[in-house]
Amino acid sequence: MVTLKEGDKAPAFSGMDQNGNKISLSAYKGKKVVLYFYPEDDTPTCTIQACNLRDNYGLLRKNGFEVIGVSPDDSQKHKKFEAKFDLPFTLIADTNHAILEKYGVWDQKQMFGHKYMGVLRTTFVIAEKGIIRKIFLRPKNKAHAEEIIAAYK
């Protein structure tokens, strides 16, 4: 369950991206960060969300945003997802769920009457000083970039 609130300090993290590089939130100090958590690469809804962010990446960057996606998939799967859909942003592999748990997005879910642990699709917009400016608990996947920009104004 997401317990972080708008106005909270964003939890520090580091992880490996799709290219095997270590990525830390601290490296983005002074920048606005769209940190989006999603369940799995190359699934229908996750692909819609990623492609919306890709298609609007120039607009997001023009408005000063850096984009980082996080899922429990490994770096190899992220690399294939990046290549297949020409994604221009960082994807962090969180196979041990450390970042997911810090942000409260690794939780019990239910589908077709079965309970299981999984990712709660959530986006955090982090301001330049590391403070959470906006949380999207139910992002509009087909218009996610647009809602991020609108909410930040």
Q: Which residues are catalytically annotated?
A: 46
- The type of residue at 150 is A
CA nearest to 116, candidates 50, 150, 72: 72
CB atoms within 10 A of CB 76: 12
Distances from the Cα of 14 to the Cαs of 26, 57, 74, 100, 139, in angstroms? Answer: 8, 23, 14, 11, 24
Element (H, E) at 152: helix 144-152
The DSSP line for 8-72 is SBPPP-EEEETTS-EEEGGGGTTSEEEEEE-S-TTSHHHHHHHHHHHHTHHHHHHTTEEEEEEES
